[in-house]
Structure 1
């Protein structure tokens, strides 16, 4: 009996000793969570990087082919109307001009000769000393001489123009945007050697992705921010939209014109174009606040009891640092701005702002 009583009491004693050695469970640690509220609609817009360009950018080329003997301007240099930009070797066109001048002189001498012959035959005909057929022959030679002289004059004028074409001049004032020629290079007629950014209106060139092309239209209002004036927006509109995509980048070129002429935009300056669309979401959240699982996006909303609640959201087109929320949130909600992948449903957090100050979530369920 004694042995049986000891065997029954031993487990109880061991259980009591184990319970005495265990420490009480520590309370769960409430971690801080950076929270933000969705931004208002006016802050939601698609952003496209761009470059300030001249509205008129003619490509300049020689009207004749030849070897470049002089390049008189550099890329980025300002030029005036009719200023010489480059010259071709004038030897060939000069020789052609001299040949045409000689032909012109020969045609003039020939005309003088056939005119004299015609006048002499006219006097002989009046005296009935020659037949009409002989006079007609002299008259025809005279008319042929006139035609030959006209042809020689036209060829001489063309040769003179060719000599002028050996000098490429600026068609208007502006800045040399690109240079594609060097001294000694042989160029063909019409081959681009300079691109001129003409003085006048300035625009912003952007590239529109294929999936967004249908959302744009000529005349659509936009705003532009210049990198030299951060935070300042200038009104503009889409002036031009290419109907065909670039074969390499698969993007569509677009030009944005400024509404005001007083915009301090300079050539080559970087810019950002903000384009809002009708029906766009009323709210947006930071990209870091969004988590996705199985193709479904969600955010963590913080309740009035400082507990996180998983909320499924419908998103619009992603921006550079934020994303529009089409459905799932209200303007009064508070969402966790970062670290959502380590949270769990119902977890208690300590909401703080970006300055690490406690946030009072008033009016939250």
Structure 2
């Protein structure tokens, strides 16, 4: 023991790396267990169908909606129709007090009579002066003055007649008539109320066609176009869809909602039974090929150089590999994969940010049941 003590100081100069090598050699016989396979949720890509279409809530509206108003102001004497009534073109809907307008019409007619009398007098005087000037009994300047008086009387008569026509039209404006066949969607005034010219009295929904008013998101507005086909489903008729097309898309987005107002026209043979104000859902197909596959949004991961990728489970090895893919327009819950993915691939649907290339995994489905993998080929016996 004393000899060992004496030798230890002599070995203090051994390099540290030799000491570490001796320690590793002493532990070399220990077995490091391989990490257990991590369970991952997998799905197979779904064929494009309704999952590739976007659904937008909407409301049944008339193709032509008109706010009906009087062209003159006055007190509303009566209204002959109520909300929900069906009216015909030319039918009287309401009337305002015509008293003042009729008085104005009578005054205009009196001015026409006065202008006609003045015009007749100047015409007679002009003819008389013309005979006198031929006989050189009056000067030419007097004849010119008579011609000017005749022209002025003629112009005043035309102005009086125009004023009388305006007064007559205004007297006729006291009755509000339907411009077309349609349905009274709402009323905005009551009898006895004083209304201004242009103030809405009724809202008329024309009978010519029905549409669905929807709002398209600003982020995807490039995916929609006028004439694009659509499918319309009423809330009170689940499962029953009628064809339609996008007829109109607003040129500018709503400044608050940041959506574009759009109108989807319903086929004429499918409008029977549709009521104004009904809730509906409009399905617009994504502009992707029919062979596109759909994967959950959560399956898409960032790839190399800003590309997109998904984690796919190798069926033979039970390990992960990153597969770059090309995607289409994103949907509400899924995204179409245009290329790079096989239809039978096992795609990791969630938790991809916690995984790594080559990691061993145990795939499970949404019911937490193990997914059977193809058995790996046995190693050859040497």
TM-score (normalised: structure 1)? 0.69
Candidates 165, 173, 176, aligned match of 1:168 = 176
The answer to whether residue 47 in structure 2 is matched with residue 40 in structure 1 is yes
User: Cα distance, 1:323 vs. partner?
Assistant: 3.1
Contact 1:97-1:159 at 8 Å conserved across structures: yes
User: Cα distance, 1:146 vs. partner?
Assistant: 1.8
- Taking a change above 3 Å as real, the CA distance of residues 350 and 197 of structure 1, as seen in their structure-2 partners, is closer
> Match of 1:58, SS?
strand
What's 1:55 paired with? 63
Deviations 1:247-301 (A, max 9, x none): 232211011123x4211344322221111223379445789xx6999xx999999
What's 2:276 paired with? 267
- Taking a change above 3 Å as real, the CA distance of residues 168 and 133 of structure 1, as seen in their structure-2 partners, is same
Deviations 1:39-95 (A, max 9, x none): 431122110011122222233332233333333322222111111222232222222
What's 2:334 paired with? 323
What's 1:76 paired with? 84
Contact 2:293-2:343 at 8 Å conserved across structures: yes
> Match of 2:72, SS?
coil
Structure 2, unaligned runs of 5 or more: 1-41, 302-307, 350-359, 376-382
Q: Distance in 2 between matches of 1:185 and 1:37?
A: 67
Deviations 1:301-336 (A, max 9, x none): 9x99xx9x9x999997453xx534649986557899
Deviations 1:8-31 (A, max 9, x none): xxxxxxxxxxxxxxxxxxxxxxxx
> Match of 1:86, SS?
strand
Structure 1, unaligned runs of 5 or more: 1-34, 338-344, 354-358
User: Cα distance, 1:362 vs. partner?
Assistant: 7.3
- Taking a change above 3 Å as real, the CA distance of residues 174 and 92 of structure 1, as seen in their structure-2 partners, is same
What's 1:148 paired with? 156
Candidates 158, 167, 171, aligned match of 2:166 = 158
User: Cα distance, 1:151 vs. partner?
Assistant: 1.1
Contact 1:313-1:325 at 8 Å conserved across structures: no
What's 1:28 paired with? none
Q: Distance in 2 between matches of 1:244 and 1:273?
A: 21
> Match of 2:204, SS?
strand
Q: Distance in 1 between matches of 2:63 and 2:226?
A: 15
Q: Distance in 2 between matches of 1:38 and 1:352?
A: 17
The answer to whether residue 198 in structure 2 is matched with residue 190 in structure 1 is yes
Contact 1:223-1:234 at 8 Å conserved across structures: yes
Deviant stretches of 4+, over 6 Å: 290-293, 296-301, 311-316, 327-330, 333-337, 345-353, 359-365
- Taking a change above 3 Å as real, the CA distance of residues 119 and 171 of structure 1, as seen in their structure-2 partners, is same
Structure 1 stretch 180-189 or stretch 95-104: which is displaced more? 180-189
Q: Distance in 1 between matches of 2:374 and 2:263?
A: 46
Contact 2:60-2:213 at 8 Å conserved across structures: yes
TM-score (normalised: structure 2)? 0.66
> Match of 1:262, SS?
helix
Matches within 5 A, 1:45-124: 45-124=53-132
The answer to whether residue 228 in structure 2 is matched with residue 217 in structure 1 is no
The answer to whether residue 264 in structure 2 is matched with residue 256 in structure 1 is yes
Q: Distance in 2 between matches of 1:181 and 1:168?
A: 13
What's 1:241 paired with? 249
Q: Distance in 2 between matches of 1:364 and 1:78?
A: 69
Contact 1:203-1:255 at 8 Å conserved across structures: yes
Aligned Cα root-mean-square deviation (Å): 4.5
Candidates 198, 201, 206, aligned match of 2:214 = 206
> Match of 2:117, SS?
helix
- Taking a change above 3 Å as real, the CA distance of residues 76 and 329 of structure 1, as seen in their structure-2 partners, is farther
Q: Distance in 1 between matches of 2:77 and 2:201?
A: 13
> Match of 1:230, SS?
coil
> Match of 1:200, SS?
coil
- Taking a change above 3 Å as real, the CA distance of residues 201 and 162 of structure 1, as seen in their structure-2 partners, is same
Contact 1:84-1:170 at 8 Å conserved across structures: yes
